[in-house]
Amino acid sequence: MDSQPNISRFAACLQVFRLTLRRQFFSRQTIVIAVLLLLALAISVVWAVPKPWNPEPRTGEQLAEQILSPLFMGFLLPLISLGYASSTISGERTGQTLVYLLSTSIPRPQIYLSQFAAVLLLTMGITLGCLSMMCVTVGMDGLAVLRAFAPVVTLATVCYVALFLLFSAWLRRATFLALAYALMVETLTANIPGVVKRITVSFYANSWLYDDSSLGLNPNIPAYDPVSGGTAIGVLIMASLGFLALGMWFFSRKEYE
């Protein structure tokens, strides 16, 4: 007796997923992100080309240390995530379409989960695709680096998307808060000595990378004191689930205009 309503609700959630995925992909954020990715790829290609004063080919360890860790992990990954996640619900509010979505029979937590899944799929595809292209610039050495970075990028992306989608459910202009967080907290705080950097996602992602002996990465600042890889994975998983649960609760409780 209950199978038909459940099927109808699943179809409705799938439609929300499709609409969110299409709306976010065909947006201004995609243009900005595409420009950033092209610049990053161009930097990687120029960096990988042997120079007259340094004819030796670049290695995977050099790629990880000089390009992927500072440029991709420290800058591109949070920006790509916030570009889509922070504008999901706040964009609906600005476009005055959220009220129509909330007037449907779909429970709010399921709407939130459908949008989270759509944004995560889009963001994950772009981040892993960009990572793959940057690793290819150094040839076969880059494949080993890709295998080491891919799990870290995957889990960090989940955490970033959950966090920035929470911002989107909280504030109308969530992109400004997310951008301030990415630039001021993730970029600056994560690169200073002390324990305050442990509030950032990038600290645990970097700790996971530092724990991988195959990469040969080491902190560039004194007294960085990274945690173990297992601890970093546990914190990222718990933070992702916490941000997602808090976002669902906030989205279910808040009165949107």
Structure tokens at 130: 């960009």
List the pLDDT tens digit at each of the 257 positions of the chain.
455 666 688 888 999 999 999 999 998 999 999 999 999 999 998 888 877 666 677 788 888 888 998 889 988 999 999 999 998 998 888 777 888 888 888 899 999 999 999 999 999 999 999 999 999 887 777 888 999 999 999 999 999 999 999 999 988 788 888 888 888 888 777 667 677 788 899 999 999 999 987 777 888 777 778 899 999 999 999 999 999 999 999 999 888 76
Nearest to 201, CA basis, from 248, 252, 159, 249: 159
pTM of the model: 0.92
